[in-house]
Structure 1
Amino acid sequence: MKVKDEGARGDRAARITTLALGALVAGLVVAVVWVGLVVLDKKGDAEDRAKAVQAARQMGVNLMTVDHASAQKDLDRMLSGATGDLKNQLATQSKVFIDSVAKAQTKSTVSQVDAAVVSIDGDSAEVMVSLNGMVTNPKVPNGVTRPYRYQMDLTKSGDRWLVSKLEMVP
């Protein structure tokens, strides 16, 4: 009988060891999946942040890169990066914008563009954009470089960030 008891004990110990190792492996799989999901989520947050900053920077450049000879194309660039009330406002004022740029024979260029996220939450972001713009026209042929700062609210539309509101900041 001792031989049979020792065999049963050995089988039981093997089963317990197998179950314990199985539980350990399952726990490790769950931990690896969880860590992977956290890393992917953080990567997605970083990508959204970078895309929002880039969209705001581009809008800043678009706002300040205007030439009387290409005013409609310049306005179209602005409209392509806008949404909501801002897009409606730009579209409504398009004729006035084009006429005033043409009448003044304005040309403006941009240098030294910086942008930073103030806040971001899923499908909305607030970004500050700072840039230097130089405006020239026949009355001021050499132009004057001036700093500009914009606070922009952005909305995520699909995989794009679009500016929904902007205001100049002193």
Structure 2
Amino acid sequence: MRRPSWTSVLLVGLSVLVVGLAVATGWLGVVTAQKKDDADQRAKAAQAARQMGVNLMTLDSANAQRDIDRIVAGTTGNLKNKLGTQTKVLLDQLAKTGAKSSVSQVEAGVVSIDDDSAEVMVSLNGTVTNAKVKDGAPRAYRYVMDLTRVKNRWLVSDMEMVP
């Protein structure tokens, strides 16, 4: 029986090394793509919650229906149903008070996230005016929002005001 030559051994060794490098490169590519997608979804969830905060704090009795429709459009599930049934009450309240509010600062931070749900804290500072407070009063609001991913869009499914 003939012994393998050193060139054959070297060729086999290099072949194994090339295959190993190809597998490692492929694995690193998959991991990198997954991390990028995770970061993208995290950013999208934070942006959706931030936008909901802005929508909640940007109300004008002169455009109340449009403003409420914008809020409802960013929701899903029970929250969407709840807001839908309270639209008339909200419209009446805005008309009665002549309220107008605007945002001066908004921040959002993702507390937790998985493939189809996220929890995001939103901090808002703004000004509220109405018939009694014509110059406006500064207000600070904090919300914890639960978001659900629906067809690659993050929508608010629940929210709670927090101190």
1:119 aligns with 2:112: yes
Spell out the pairing of 1:1-170 with structure 2 (5 A cutoff).
12-170=5-163
Unaligned runs of 5+ in 1: none
SS class of match (1:140): coil
TM-score by length of 1: 0.91
Larger Rg: 1
Q: Deviations over 1:66-113 (max 9, x none)?
A: 001111110111111111111111111001111110121111111110
* d(CA) in 2 for partners of 1:129, 1:111: 13
Unaligned runs of 5+ in 2: none
* d(CA) in 1 for partners of 2:7, 2:15: 12
Q: Deviations over 1:11-43 (max 9, x none)?
A: 743333222211110100000011111111111
* d(CA) in 1 for partners of 2:82, 2:58: 19
Q: Deviations over 1:115-163 (max 9, x none)?
A: 1011111111100000112111121101100110000000111221110
Which has a greater percent of helix? 1
SS class of match (1:56): helix
* d(CA) in 1 for partners of 2:67, 2:8: 74
Letter in 1 for 2:77: G
* Worse-matched range after superposition: 54-63 or 98-107: 98-107
SS class of match (2:75): coil
Identical-residue share of aligned pairs (%): 60
SS class of match (1:118): strand
Structure 1 residue ranges (4+ consecutive) displaced by more than 6 angstroms after TM superposition: none
* d(CA) in 1 for partners of 2:5, 2:86: 83
* d(CA) in 2 for partners of 1:153, 1:40: 26
Letter in 1 for 2:130: N
